[in-house]
Structure 1
Amino acid sequence: MKKLLVLLLLLAFSNHSYSQDYTPLLDYYNEWNLRFCFASICDTDLYYTNGDTLVDGMNYKVLDGYHYISRGFLLRENIPERKVYLKVILPSGISDYLLYDFSLPVGDSIDMKNPITPFPEDAGYFTVDSIIPRPLVDGNHYRHFYFSPSASNTVSTNNAIWIEGVGSMSIITAPSGDPDINGVGRVACMFKNGESFYSDLDIIDECEPLFILDTSSFEDEKNIVKAITTPSTNVYEIINIADITTIQLYNLSGVILESFENDNRDSISLNLNKYPSGIYILVLKANNNSKQVLKIIVA
């Protein structure tokens, strides 16, 4: 009887440690590194929260970096409900989305939305197949949510993964995104307040935050090649390319679509409106024959 009582207490404690506590997705400062590879060249997209704002009496984190540089993408978390929302403010209007619901039990489903991503915005319903606690960088266990399209879903075919405290293993605003390093990409590193929270060293050599809080390092690096656009325009300004001789545009199948020569200009404008929605790759060749890849989205 005593052994049975001890066993029940241990089970209760274990269940409490995994099911009662909740680690919020958003901290003071958050940084995600999305790793992707194309033609044996791998690179990392960076996105992060950069400041706070108040809208209609509610506090939001401003999502920045990657293709969120318009600062019109705002994240809000309801911690008691374990839900994360996105407000998108564009010239065309304002939209609100439920991105994550970490209160879902196994067997429940959620209507997934992927705003301003290469995935379907209305991705249909996904069902929670399993929730498995797994250790992250600090050694503590965090819930990993594994989803598959519900039987009624005629839009999506891929599975999706969320991690408590991290979000989607794909783009942060793509809860149903396919976390494929050879496609749109997969989260390799995630930092909270400059400290490593999640890392996947199978797809990246090391995880180091690009930005350090409360220092002059909390600024964009200068003189690195960037693709800048206003959301939904599909016109990209490629800047800091004085050392780049050739820019080639590929689709994810590896087909070259266009090639652009650069004659010592520091920037070039690319209008991609003629291409279907999706992810595209820019391969930039420098004077010293080195290559760099940039991932861009056509909405």
Structure 2
Amino acid sequence: MSGSQVLKKVLFIGAGGNIGGPIFRSLEKAGFDLTVLSRPDSKNTFGPNVKVVKKLYDDPSLSEAFEGQDAVVSFVSVAALLDQIKLIDVAAKAGVKRFIPSELGSNTLNPKAQELVFFYKQKQTVLEHLEATAKKNPGFSWTGLATGPVFDWGLQVGFLGFNLKTHTALIYDDGNVRISYTNLDTIGEAVGAILRKPAETANKYLSVSSFTLSLNDILASLEAATETKWTVNHASTADAEREGKEKLAKGDFTGVRTLLARLMYGGDTGANFEKEPTFANQLLELPQESLDATVKAIVAGQK
């Protein structure tokens, strides 16, 4: 595969989601030739230059959406992760050159991540299927992309444990464990770079980040931006693991959120991407970013 052979024609799955939507718009802005695969009952609308194909994954004519595409970018929801196995098979058969599966989040390759949160095992199953498919089909390749928690979106919706309205923070353990986070725009740039650099990114699992920070770093930046002393509550990652497993054992899936906190802040799941061999900021030519500038923009309502 030539390094100059940009994968221009892209079938995007999950373009209507909270995360997939902004990534889709980033690729649209960058000039990729986009087709959206969506459910027949979807009410999402896209730009005039975007072709939309509405089909269920079990539609006998599903392959029509994949034919002539250079790449598939998948941002399916957690519930649909294993559905990607069928999509990969259809893509390979249709002659698609690259499949980027729904990853984001933590490092799927880390055994502790797979042990803690069930859908990381599913992500690993998808990666293994991609590897096997690439071996059988020389024209087919894949790229996995871990981003850590989505920083700007996660901060806005409270996923990271900081409440912008009440100025309260939830800090795990001593708050000093450093993990990698990525802003939405940067994820979009990373996906675009993978498509522009097919030879350099083929059959690789990559990780990227906007910055690698501790919870205390984020708290200090928020207090400076809001000019307010925040109320801090403390929690233990050991307790989070125990409570999360207990909830799941009882069928309470809110335990997944607790286990994700353990996964992010436990310090033993490869969440500091800068220390990992997969770290690809330089390969993908991603920009240097500032925590304080990002936080100020969010606090000011500009993101």
Query: TM-score if structure 1 supplies the norm length?
Result: 0.26
Bigger helix fraction:
2
Query: TM-score if structure 2 supplies the norm length?
Result: 0.26
Structure ranking higher on relative contact order (CA contacts 8 Å, 6+ apart): 2
Bigger strand fraction:
1
Name the larger-Rg structure: 1
